[in-house]
Chain A
Amino acid sequence: MKAVREIRVGLATCGIAAGAQAVYDAVVREVAAAELPIPVKRVGCVGMCYGEPLVEVVAADGSVNRYGHAQPGDAAGIVGDAVAGGAPAGDLAVDSDDFLGRQVRIVLENCGCIDPESLEEYRSCDGYRGLERALREMTPGEVVAEMVASGLRGRGGAGFPTGTKWSLTAKEKASPKYMICNADEGDPGAFMDRSVLEGDPHRVLEGMLIAAYAIGASLGYVYVRAEYPLAIARLKRAIADARSAGLLGERILGSDFSFDLKIKEGAGAFVCGEETALIASIEGKRGMPRRRPPYPSTSGLHGKPTCINNVETLANIPWILRRGAAAFAAYGTETSKGTKVFALAGKVKRSGLIEVPMGMTIRDIVFGIGGGIQNDGELKAVQMGGPSGGCIPASLADTPVDYEALKATGAIVGSGGMIVLDQETCMVDVARFFLDFTQKESCGKCTFCRVGTKRMLEVLERICAGHGTTADLDRMLDLGRKVKANSLCALGQTAPNPILTTAAYFRDEYAAHIDEGACPAKVCKALLHFRIDAEACRNCKLCTRQCPASAISDGDGPYQRIDPVACVRCGRCKQVCPFGAVEVTTGRATT
C-alpha cells in the first residue's frame, strides 16, 4: 500500500456547483468503508474550473494525482487507486501540468491545498508569520516602507500603489481610523476574491491586520457581497478562530496593537465596489459614489481616515512580510510588480483561476496556460478588465500583462477578468453585452453615466438589429468619450471602454452591421437568415417538428422550407439537421 498523506476535494462554490459535495461524501464513505487511515479534506479551489469536480490524492512525498470531472461513482476507483498507487485514466485524467506549472502562486499559495476552516493548517503553512514579524520586529512606518518597496499596486482595478495609500492614511492624525477590505467583487465572470476568501480566509485577515497596524486603524470592515454565502461563512469562522487565538481583538499577539473587524454584507450593487460608494453603503446610505477629493485616506468612513484594499491586494501582504519586499519585486515588470490573479474564461480550452507573474504576455496565458482556443479555433480578441475593460485584438496578443502596457491598448488590468474570444464572437455584441451590464449597474447619480450609457446602449442595440447608421455610430463614440471624461466615478469613466476599443480595433465589423446588415460572426439574430438547401434536404422533417415557431413547412418539392417572417432565428433546425441542409447567411443581399 502506497503512503497517502490526504485526499483533497475542492469544495469552493465552483466545486459545489459542479457536484463536488456528493463526490466528497462518496469519497468519505469509501475511505470509511475500507477503514483506511486517510484524511479526506475539504479544500478551496485550485483554479482548474475546466476539471471540476476535482479530487486530488496527495502522496506522502507530496506528489499529487488529480482526478477531474469526478462523479460519486468514481469514488471507489479513486480510493482504490490511492491505495494501490494507481493513476487517473480515461475521463478522469485531467491535464494540469501546463495549467498549474506555468503559474506563480503567491495569492493562491494555499488555495486548494489547505482546509480553509482550519487555523492550524494556515499557521502550519507559515500563516500569521508576516503579522508576527510586523508586530514584533517592525514599526508601523517600517511596514509601510516595506510595502512601498514591494511595489505592490492595488489589485481592485485602478492599480494605485498600496504603499502610498497606506502612508497617506498613516500620516492622518484623526482617530479612529478604519481599515476596510473590499470584497465586493462584481465583475461578471470574475471570482478571484471569492476563491481566495473561500480557499484561504485567514490570509485576508492577516493582510488586514498588517495593514491596520501600519496605518494605525483600530476597527475594520470586510465589505463582502451577500451573494457569497460560503465566503462569508468561512470568513466568520476565520474571524472567530482568530479572535480566540488572540490574533484579533485587544493586544494582539501580546503587542500594544488592538484591532477588531466586522463583516458588512453588501446587497450586490456593482457600484459599491467603488470606494466612496462602498463607504456610503457601510454608513447605511444608498451606495452612491461621491466626488474625490477628499480621498478616503483623509475623510472616509464616518468622515475618518480610511484605507480600503481589495481582497487580492491584502492576500499578497502576508507573503511580502514573510519573504520581504525584494522577493516580491523580483516578479513582474518595471512598473508592475508581483503576480496577478485572472479568471480565465471564454473560448479557451482550459478555463479557470490562474495567477501569473506580471509581464507574461496574453499569448502565453491563452495558449500556454489556457491551452489555446476551443475547437482549435482562431483567437480574435481578449476582453480584459471586466465590464469596464476593453478588447485587445489578436494582433496585440504579445502585449504583456502590465498596468501601463494594457492601458495603452485601451483595456485595463482591472480586477482580473480575462475572456478569450474566437472568430465566432461578434464584437458589437460583446460591446453591447458589457455596456448593458454597466448601464444597469450605474447608480444613477451623474447624468453622463446614467443617461449616457443608456443612450449608447440603445445605439448598439439598433446596430445589432440592423437599424444603425454611421452617423449614429459616430455620435455614440463621441458620446462615449464624453461619458469617459465627465462621469463622476470609475464606473462611468470606464463604461465606454468596451465600445471604444471594439470600435477602434473592429470598426469593419460595425460597418458590416450598418452598411450590409450583416453580422460576420453570425451572432446578431436580427441579421441572420435561415434557409434549407433543397438539394441537401432529405425531407425527414426533424427540423419541422423541432421548430418552436412553426416556421418550417413543406416546400414546393420533396424538401422543407423556412418561412423567414415566422422564423425566430433560434438555430434549432441547424442543430438537429442530420444532413447539414440548414444554411445560415447574414446581410441584406441574401434575403
Chain B
Amino acid sequence: MIHVTIDGRRLTGRPGETILDVARRSGITIPALCAEERLEPFDACGVCSVEVEGRGVVRACSTPIADGMAVQTGSPAAREVRKAALELLLSNHWGDCVGPCQEACPAHTDCQAYVSLAANGRFEDGLRILYESLPLPASFGRICPAPCEDACRREVAEEPVQIREIKRFLGDLPTPYVPSVAAPTGKRVAVVGGGPAGLSAAYFLRRRGHEVVVIDAMPLMGGMLRYGIPEYRLPAAVIDREVAVLEAMGIVFRHGVRLGKDVSLEELEAEFDAVFLGLGAWGTHPMGLPGEDHPAVTQGTDFLRQVNEGARPRLPKKVVVVGGGNTAMDAARCARRLGADVTVVYRRSRDEMPALPHEVEEAVDEGVQFRFLTQPVEFLADDRSLTGIRCLEMQLGPPDDSGRRRPVPVAGSEFDLEAGAVLLAVGQSVDAAFLRSTGVELTKAGTVVAEPTTGRTSKPNVFAGGDAVTGPSIAVEAVGAGHRAAEAIDRYVRGGDPAAPRASYVHVKSDVTREDLGNPVVAPRVRTSERTPAERLRDFGEYEAGFTAEQAMAAGQRCLECGCLAFHDCALREYATEADASQDAFVGDVARERCDERHPFILREAGKCVSCGRCVRVCRELCGVSAIDFVGRGIEADVQVPFNRAWQDSDCVSCGACVDACPTGALSDRTVLEKQVPLVVERTASVCSLCGLGCDLELLSIDGAYLGTVAPEGGVLCARGRYGWHALREAQRITTPRVRRGSRLVDASWDDAFNVAAERLAAAKGSVAVIGTGLLTCEEGWVAKRIADLLASGSPVFDVRSDGPRVDVPSERLADLSALATPRALIVVVGPRSGHEKVVLDVMLRRAMQGGALLYSVGGKVPGAHAEIPLEALPALLEELRPEARTAARLKALGVPPDAVKLLRKPRNRAQLLVVEERTVAESALDHVVRFVADAGEARLIAVPASSNAVGLRRLGFGEALPAAKAWLCIGADPVGTQAGRQRLLGVETLVAASPIATATTERADVVLPMRWPFETRGRVLGAAGETSLVPGAQSAIEFETWQILAHLSRALGNGSLPSDFEAVSQAAMNAVRAARPTAVSAGGTAAALAAAIDRRLAENGIR
C-alpha cells in the first residue's frame, strides 16, 4: 500500500496507480479531458495538471503515486497550467455552445430548442421549453422586438428564422400548459407590479414553491403589455389567458392596490420574506412648451390606456402625435382607427426613429402622415379649442451621446401645423420617488438602484427589476430581470447567499460567413396572411394571422442548428467554467470545420475536437477496431478515417463507443428527431432485447418519447442495439388494428379486432398454433401460454425453425464474464460469434485477455487470441483439456502455438471457462461442450442464448416444434417471411398477427394487431443464467402494451380470471418461471423478425 495526501486527505493506493486513479476512486474531482478510466493514460490535454510538493506541476493522469506524495489539485501553479491548457484548446475551438439567438435574448430563451421542436412537430415540448424562461409566450410572440432574430445566423444566408412567430404559435396552442410547481417552501414573496418584470419574478418564484402575491395598481394584470400596447398588436384576451395560467399555478393577484398609497413597503416587508419591485415606467416628461397644459394636449400613454380599457373617444379631425418611438406609432395608429387624420411630428429623420421599422411601415400603410425634422415650440389655441402647433424645421448636426445625429433648428423656419388634439409620446420615466423614504436607494433620474445579475437593492429583502431599474426598455429585458431576481430571492429566502453563481462558460463562433454555414439552400421566411390597411382601420382586431402548424414546422426547419448537441454534457465547457478560462486569451487561426454528416447516425464536428484521442483509443484499444486515427501534423492534426472517407466506409462497426468517449460536441449521436435539438433528456435504464446478450442500455427520451439509445457509463453496445431502433424509424409501422373483410384488410377498432380474432381462433380450438419469438417478455409469454391453454393447443412455440439443441447445464451470467476471467483463466470461445453482437462479446473477451486470461478461439477468430483452432478439432481439444490428459504435443498438433501451450501450463490448474453463443454453434459441438463441463469438474460455461428471453420463455413452456394447425396466432413472429414457415402454411385457415411493422405474416393475416417496439413495453426477461432484468417501457404510438393486447385477446376468448394490472401479471409470470426447473438454456430460432428487419435497415445505411 502506498500512502499519499491529496488536498489534505490521507489516501492509500496500489503500486502502479496514478494520482488520477486514486483521486477518482476517492471522489476527488480532477478535471481531465484525455484520461479515460478504461484506457491507458494518453497524457495529451494537460488539463489534469496538479501540483506535487517538491516536484511542481505534473499530470495527474500519468504520474504514478509514490509513498508520502503530497498533491494539491487546485494550487495556483496547477490552476495556471490547467487554465492555459484550456485556453489554448478554446483558442482553436470552432463551435457555438448555444445559438446566437439564445445569447442575444435578454431572457435567455432557448430559441433553438423550441424552434427545432416546432420543426419536428413536437409543439407541446416546444411550449414546455419556452416556459422554462418565458412565462408569457403568446404575448411575447406578438410584441417582442426579437433581438434573437437580429442575431440569427440565418441572416447570413438570407433572412432570420421567424423565432417570434413560432413563439406566438406555441403560445397560442389550444391546450394551455400549466407548469408544475415545486413543493411548498413556506416562504412568501410579494411582487409589486403585474407587468412583465413582476409577472416573470412571480412565475419563477412560484415554480420554486414559494407563495407569491402580486399587487398591482391597475384593475387587471399585465402592466404596460395590457395598458400600453394596442389591441390590434396584443389582444387583451391573449394576456388574460396567460395570466390565467399563472393563476392556475397558484399565484395570488391583488388588483387595484397601489404601493405607497393602499399599502406601504414597510407593511409588505413585515408580511413577506422578500419583496420584488417591478414598478415599470409609467411617468411622463413634460415638454415645457407654452400651451402644453391645454386639455387637448394629452400624453400618448394616457390615450392608449383609455383606448385599451375599451373607451373609444371622439377625436377631432386633425390629430398630431409628437415623438418617434413605438408609443408614438401605437398612439397614431389607434387615432387612425378612431377616424382621425394623423400626423406624426418627429424632430429627426426616419432613419433615427426608435420605433421598430415594421411599425413605421404599417403606420404609413394605414395612412399616418409623417413630418420629419420638425420640432414643436408652442401649442396654439383659440378660446374654444386647440388650433395647431407652431413648429421649427430642423437639420441634423453632429452625433450626440446616443450616437444619433443631433437635430439643430433652421433659423427662421417657423411654421404652424393644424391640430385639434395633440398626443405627446416623447418618452416615459420612472415614478418611484415615493420610495425615497423607505430606504430603497434611487438614482438621480429616479430609477431604483439594483444589481443587474440579482436585482438586489440597497435593502437586503427588497429586489427590483424591469423598467423601474433600467428606465424604459423592451419587455423581454424585464422578463430576464424578473427571472434573475427570482433566482436571487429564492437563494435569499432559503437563507443562502443571493449573489449570482459564476456564469457558465459559453463559446461562440465569430465572423461567420455564408460559406462557414455550408452555403445553405435559400429558404425565404414563411409568409402569413395579413389584413389590408383598409380592413385594419375598421377595428382593433389583430392585423396579422399567426402560423398554422404546417407553417410553424416549415419556419422551424429553417433553423441552422447553431447550438451544440453536447451543450448539456460537455466536459470542456464545465472545466472552462471552473477554471474561469477565456475564449480570447490566445488569438489565432481556427480551422472552420463544418459538421460531417456522412455517417447515418454519428455527427462529427472536427472544429470542436480537442484532440484528446479518446475516440481513437476507444476504437482501437477497447473495441479492437481502429477505424479512425489522427491524420496530419501540428495544429492540423485531426481525427479521421484515412483519405477522408466517411466513417461507415472504414472498418467502423458503428458501435458508437467513440461518441460516448468524446468529452465535447465533436462527436454526437443523431436522435430520431428529424431536426436535431440540444435538450436535457431523460435517461432510463433498460435492456436490449435484440439478441441473447441482453446488454444493459439507456433509453433517451423527452416527455417519455424515445429519442435514442446509448450505452450505460463504461458499457458498449453494438450497432443494432444502439442505432437499430433509429434505423427502423422510417419503417412502415402498424398503428391501427385491421381486420380482413373479403380480400381486403380494413381499419378496425381494438375491440372489433379482439372480438374477430377471438371468434376465429375459438373456431379452430384444438388446432391453434401460438407462435411467439424469443423477444417476448416473461409476462407476454405467460399470457400467451394462457391463450394457448384456452385454445387447447399445446405449448406456444418460438419463431419457426427446426428443432434446436437442448442443454442441461446451468450457465453462468454473461455479465460476470469479466469476473470469471481471472488472470489464471483459460477461456475457450466456441463458435464464430455472430452479427453485430460480436462487437460486444469481443470487447468482453478482449478485456479478459487484457486482464491476463488465456484465450483459445475454436471455430472463429477473436483478435489477439492465443490460439485459433478449427471447430472440427473441438472434441480433441476438450479431451486434452481434461485434468488427467494434458499432453503438450497433442495440443501443438491441434494448432495451438508452443507459446500458448507454455502459457497454459504456467499457472497450474487454469480455471476453464467455455463461452458459447448457441445460435452459431451446431448441436453436436454444443453437446461436446456440455458433456465436458458436466465432467470436468471446475470448468464453467457461459452459454449465450439465441434471443433475449429464450431462457424465460422455455421455462414457461415454449417449445420448438410447430404442430400442424388450422389457425396461427403470431405474436411478433413472422413465420410467413421464412421458407420453413411458408411450407407449413398450407391448411392454415385463420391467421392472427400482432406485429410492430408490416411483414409477410401481417400481409397474409386475417386480423392484424399493432404492437409496441420491445423497448416500449414493460416486462421482465431472463438472462443466460436465469437472472432477471426489467425492461421499463417507454411512451409509444400504440395505445396498449404488448402484454395488455394479449390480455385483451385472452379476455375476448372468455378468460375472465386474468389480472389487469401489470404487477399482478408480472408476479404470476415470474412465479411460473421460478417454479419451472432451470433445465434448458437454449432456444433455437432464426434471428427474430424484428432483429432481422433492423439488420436490413442498418445494411441499407452502409453499416455492416
Query: Interface stretch among B85-93, B181-189, B436-444, B1037-1045?
Result: B85-93
CB nearest neighbor in A for B589: A458
Task: Give 1 or 0 for each of A274-318: 1 = CB within 8 Å of chain B CB.
Answer: 000000000000101011000000000000000000000000000
Q: Is the interface of B mostly helix, strand, loop or mixed?
A: loop
Are the CB atoms of A291 and B62 closer together than 8 Å?
Answer: yes
CB nearest neighbor in A for B33: A447
Task: Give 1 or 0 for each of B196-235: 1 = CB within 8 Å of chain A CB.
Answer: 0000000000000000000000000000000000000000
Closest CB of chain B to A379's CB: distance in Å?
33
B633 in the interface (beta carbon within 8 A): yes
Provide the residues of chain B in CB contact with A271, threshold 8 Å.
633
Query: Which among B42, B84, B637 is the interface contact of A450 at CB below 8 angstroms?
Result: B637
Are the CB atoms of A447 and B586 closer together than 8 Å?
Answer: no
Provide the residues of chain B in CB contact with A479, threshold 8 Å.
84, 586
Query: Interface stretch among B43-51, B143-151, B839-847?
Result: B43-51
Are the CB atoms of A443 and B633 closer together than 8 Å?
Answer: yes
CB nearest neighbor in B for A444: B637
Are the CB atoms of B634 and A439 closer together than 8 Å?
Answer: yes
Are the CB atoms of B41 and A485 closer together than 8 Å?
Answer: no
Give the complex CA separation of A454 and B633 in angstroms. 12
Give the complex CA separation of A288 and B91 in angstroms. 23
Give the complex CA separation of A345 and B633 in angstroms. 28
Most chain A beta-carbon neighbours within 10 Å: one of B88, B587, B629: B88
CB nearest neighbor in A for B629: A286
The bracket for how many chain B residues form the interface is 20 to 34
Provide the residues of chain A in CB contact with B44, threshold 8 Å.
445-447, 488
Total of A-B residue pairs, C-beta within 8 Å = 94
Closest CB of chain B to A440's CB: distance in Å?
5
Give the complex CA separation of A286 and B81 in angstroms. 27
Provide the residues of chain B in CB contact with A452, threshold 8 Å.
88
Give the complex CA separation of A441 and B44 in angstroms. 16
Are the CB atoms of B588 and A455 closer together than 8 Å?
Answer: yes
Are the CB atoms of A451 and B637 closer together than 8 Å?
Answer: no
A448 in the interface (beta carbon within 8 A): yes
Are the CB atoms of B89 and A440 closer together than 8 Å?
Answer: no
Most chain A beta-carbon neighbours within 10 Å: one of B62, B84, B92: B84
Are the CB atoms of B41 and A451 closer together than 8 Å?
Answer: no
CB nearest neighbor in A for B92: A451
Give the complex CA separation of A163 and B473 in angstroms. 78
Are the CB atoms of B630 and A448 closer together than 8 Å?
Answer: no
CB nearest neighbor in A for B58: A486
Query: Which among A290, A447, A475 is the interface contact of B45 at CB below 8 angstroms?
Result: A447
Provide the residues of chain A in CB contact with B630, threshold 8 Å.
286, 288, 443-445
A232 in the interface (beta carbon within 8 A): no
Give the complex CA separation of A543 and B633 in angstroms. 42
Query: Which among A442, A451, A486 is the interface contact of B91 at CB below 8 angstroms?
Result: A451
B1011 in the interface (beta carbon within 8 A): no
Give the complex CA separation of A439 and B636 in angstroms. 10
B632 in the interface (beta carbon within 8 A): yes
B512 in the interface (beta carbon within 8 A): no
Interface residues of B in 584-642 (CB under 8 A from A): 586-589, 610-611, 613, 629-630, 632-637
CB nearest neighbor in A for B62: A291
Give the complex CA separation of A448 and B92 in angstroms. 12
Interface residues of A in 408-466 (CB under 8 A from B): 439-448, 450-455, 458
Are the CB atoms of B634 and A453 closer together than 8 Å?
Answer: yes
Give the complex CA separation of A444 and B589 in angstroms. 16
Query: Which among A441, A451, A488 is the interface contact of B88 at CB below 8 angstroms?
Result: A451
Closest CB of chain B to A587's CB: distance in Å?
26
Are the CB atoms of B43 and A448 closer together than 8 Å?
Answer: no
Closest CB of chain B to A493's CB: distance in Å?
13
CB nearest neighbor in A for B77: A485
B360 in the interface (beta carbon within 8 A): no
The bracket for how many chain A residues form the interface is 20 to 34
Closest CB of chain B to A52's CB: distance in Å?
32
Are the CB atoms of A485 and B46 closer together than 8 Å?
Answer: no
Are the CB atoms of A444 and B632 closer together than 8 Å?
Answer: yes
Are the CB atoms of B588 and A458 closer together than 8 Å?
Answer: yes
Query: Which among B43, B85, B635 is the interface contact of A444 at CB below 8 angstroms?
Result: B635
Are the CB atoms of A454 and B41 closer together than 8 Å?
Answer: no
B57 in the interface (beta carbon within 8 A): yes
Provide the residues of chain B in CB contact with A450, threshold 8 Å.
611, 634-635, 637
Are the CB atoms of B613 and A439 closer together than 8 Å?
Answer: no
Provide the residues of chain B in CB contact with A446, threshold 8 Å.
43-46
Provide the residues of chain B in CB contact with A447, threshold 8 Å.
44-47, 85, 88-89, 610-611
Give the complex CA separation of A450 and B612 in angstroms. 12
A269 in the interface (beta carbon within 8 A): yes
Given A453-B634, A455-B91, A482-B81 contact (CB < 8 Å): yes
Give the complex CA separation of A479 and B632 in angstroms. 24
Query: Which among A444, A475, A486 is the interface contact of B636 at CB below 8 angstroms?
Result: A444
Task: Give 1 or 0 for each of A226-263: 1 = CB within 8 Å of chain B CB.
Answer: 00000000000000000000000000000000000000
Are the CB atoms of A442 and B84 closer together than 8 Å?
Answer: no
CB nearest neighbor in A for B45: A447
Interface residues of A in 332-359 (CB under 8 A from B): none
Are the CB atoms of B43 and A488 closer together than 8 Å?
Answer: yes
Closest CB of chain B to A588's CB: distance in Å?
23
Provide the residues of chain A in CB contact with B587, threshold 8 Å.
455, 458
Given A446-B43, A486-B81, A451-B57 contact (CB < 8 Å): no
Are the CB atoms of A440 and B633 closer together than 8 Å?
Answer: yes
Are the CB atoms of A291 and B634 closer together than 8 Å?
Answer: no
Give the complex CA separation of A536 and B89 in angstroms. 55
Provide the residues of chain A in CB contact with B57, threshold 8 Å.
485-486
CB nearest neighbor in B for A451: B88
Most chain A beta-carbon neighbours within 10 Å: one of B57, B85, B589: B85
Are the CB atoms of B611 and A448 closer together than 8 Å?
Answer: no
CB nearest neighbor in B for A440: B634
CB nearest neighbor in B for A488: B43
Provide the residues of chain A in CB contact with B88, threshold 8 Å.
447-448, 451-452, 455
Closest CB of chain A to B1051's CB: distance in Å?
64
Given A445-B611, A446-B44, A486-B85 contact (CB < 8 Å): yes
Closest CB of chain B to A227's CB: distance in Å?
16
Closest CB of chain B to A476's CB: distance in Å?
9
CB nearest neighbor in A for B616: A286
Give the complex CA separation of A352 and B5 in angstroms. 56
Give the complex CA separation of A447 and B47 in angstroms. 9
Closest CB of chain B to A335's CB: distance in Å?
25
Give the complex CA separation of A475 and B87 in angstroms. 13
Provide the residues of chain B in CB contact with A290, threshold 8 Å.
43
Are the CB atoms of A448 and B91 closer together than 8 Å?
Answer: no
Closest CB of chain B to A451's CB: distance in Å?
4
Are the CB atoms of B46 and A444 closer together than 8 Å?
Answer: no
Provide the residues of chain A in CB contact with B610, threshold 8 Å.
447
CB nearest neighbor in B for A478: B84
Closest CB of chain A to B447's CB: distance in Å?
38
Give the complex CA separation of A290 and B637 in angstroms. 16
Are the CB atoms of B84 and A482 closer together than 8 Å?
Answer: yes
Provide the residues of chain A in CB contact with B41, threshold 8 Å.
291
Give the complex CA separation of A454 and B586 in angstroms. 10
Query: Which among B47, B586, B589, B634 is the interface contact of A442 at CB below 8 angstroms?
Result: B634
Give the complex CA separation of A299 and B92 in angstroms. 35
Given A448-B85, A450-B611, A451-B89, A486-B634 contact (CB < 8 Å): no
Provide the residues of chain A in CB contact with B634, threshold 8 Å.
439-442, 444, 450, 453-454
The 3 closest A-B pairs by CB, nearest first: A444-B637, A451-B88, A291-B43
Known: A440-B634, A442-B635. 7 other contacts (CB 8 A): A440-B633, A442-B637, A446-B43, A448-B88, A450-B634, A450-B637, A486-B84
27 contacts between A and B (CB under 8 A): A291-B62, A440-B634, A441-B634, A442-B635, A443-B633, A444-B611, A444-B632, A444-B633, A444-B635, A445-B44, A445-B611, A445-B613, A445-B630, A446-B43, A446-B46, A447-B44, A447-B89, A450-B634, A451-B88, A451-B89, A452-B88, A454-B588, A455-B88, A455-B586, A479-B586, A486-B57, A486-B84
B-side residues, CB < 8 A to A, are: 41-47, 49, 57, 59, 62, 81, 84-85, 88-89, 91-92, 586-589, 610-611, 613, 629-630, 632-637
